[in-house]
A and B are shown apart, each in its own frame.
Chain A
Amino acid sequence: MWMLSTKMLPAAAVLYPMTFITKSTGLFDTHFLIILVLSLINLPIVVWMLFTYFKEIPKDIIEAGQMDGVNTWGEIKEILIPLAWGGIASTALLCFIFCWNEAHWTVRLTTTDAATLSKLIEGNRAPEGLFFGRLSAVSAAAVGPIVILGWFCQKQLVQGLTFGAVK
Chain B
Amino acid sequence: MGRIQLKSVTKSFGDVQVIPPLDLTIEDGEFAVFVGPSGCGKSTLLRMIAGLEDLTSGEIEIDGTIATHVPPAQRGLAMVFQSYALYPHMTVRKNIGFPLRMAKMAQAEINQRVETAAKSLNLMEYLDRKPADLSGGQRQRVAIGRAIVREPTAFLFDEPLSNLDAALRVGMRLEIGELHERLQTTMIYVTHDQVEAMTMANKIVVLRAGVIEQVGSPLDLYHRPQNEFVAGFIGSPKMNFVTGPEAEKHGAATIGIRPEHTEVSMSEGEWKGRVGVAEHLGSDTFIHVHDTGVADLVTVRVSCDIAVKHGDTIYLTPQVDQIHKFDTQGLRL
User: Main SS of the interface on chain B?
Assistant: loop
Q: Is the CB of A83 within 8 A of B73?
A: no
Q: Is the CB of B78 within 8 A of A67?
A: yes
Q: Is the CB of A79 within 8 A of B50?
A: no
> Which residues of B are at the interface with A, using a C-beta cutoff of 8 A?
50-52, 71-74, 77-79, 81-83, 85-89, 98-99, 102-103, 146, 150
Write out the residue numbers on chain B whose beta carbons fall within 8 Å of the beta carbon of A58: 83, 85
- Contact A61/B87 with A66-B52, A67-B72 known, Cβ cut-off 8 Å: yes
Q: Is the CB of B85 within 8 A of A64?
A: yes
Q: Is the CB of B88 within 8 A of A83?
A: yes
User: Main SS of the interface on chain A?
Assistant: helix
The answer to whether the Cβ of A82 comes within 8 Å of any Cβ in the partner chain is yes
Residue of A nearest to B103 (CB): A69
Can you show 27 pairs from A to B with CB atoms below 8 A apart? A58-B83, A60-B81, A60-B82, A60-B83, A61-B86, A61-B87, A63-B72, A63-B79, A63-B85, A64-B81, A64-B87, A64-B146, A66-B51, A67-B77, A68-B98, A68-B99, A68-B102, A68-B146, A69-B73, A69-B102, A70-B73, A70-B102, A78-B87, A82-B87, A83-B87, A83-B89, A85-B89
The answer to whether the Cβ of A145 comes within 8 Å of any Cβ in the partner chain is no
The answer to whether the Cβ of A144 comes within 8 Å of any Cβ in the partner chain is no
In this complex, the member of A64, A65, A69, A85 whose beta carbon has the largest number of chain B beta carbons within 10 angstroms is: A64
Q: How many residues of A contact B (CB 8 A)?
A: 17
From A60, A67, A85, B73 is in contact (CB under 8 Å) with A67
In this complex, the member of A78, A79, A82 whose beta carbon has the largest number of chain B beta carbons within 10 angstroms is: A78
Write out the residue numbers on chain A whose beta carbons fall within 8 Å of the beta carbon of B79: 63-64, 67
- Contact A63/B103 with A68-B98, A79-B87, A83-B89 known, Cβ cut-off 8 Å: no
CA distance A74 to B101 in the complex (A): 11
Write out the residue numbers on chain A whose beta carbons fall within 8 Å of the beta carbon of B74: 69
Query: 10 tightest A-B contacts by CB?
Result: A69-B73, A64-B85, A68-B99, A60-B85, A69-B102, A82-B89, A60-B81, A60-B83, A66-B72, A67-B79
CA distance A61 to B143 in the complex (A): 11
Write the nearest CB–CB distance from A72 to chain B, whole angstroms. Answer: 11
Write the nearest CB–CB distance from B216 to chain A, whole angstroms. Answer: 29
Q: Is the CB of A68 within 8 A of B89?
A: no
Residue of B nearest to A74 (CB): B102
Write out the residue numbers on chain B whose beta carbons fall within 8 Å of the beta carbon of A65: 87
- Contact A63/B102 with A69-B73, A82-B89, A83-B89 known, Cβ cut-off 8 Å: no
Write out the residue numbers on chain B whose beta carbons fall within 8 Å of the beta carbon of A82: 87, 89
CA distance A61 to B52 in the complex (A): 12
Write out the residue numbers on chain B whose beta carbons fall within 8 Å of the beta carbon of A67: 50, 52, 72-73, 77-79, 99
CA distance A137 to B225 in the complex (A): 87
Residue of B nearest to A68 (CB): B99
15 more contacts with CB within 8 A, not counting A68-B98, A69-B103, A79-B87, are A60-B85, A61-B87, A63-B72, A63-B85, A64-B146, A66-B52, A67-B78, A68-B73, A68-B99, A68-B102, A68-B146, A68-B150, A69-B73, A82-B87, A82-B89
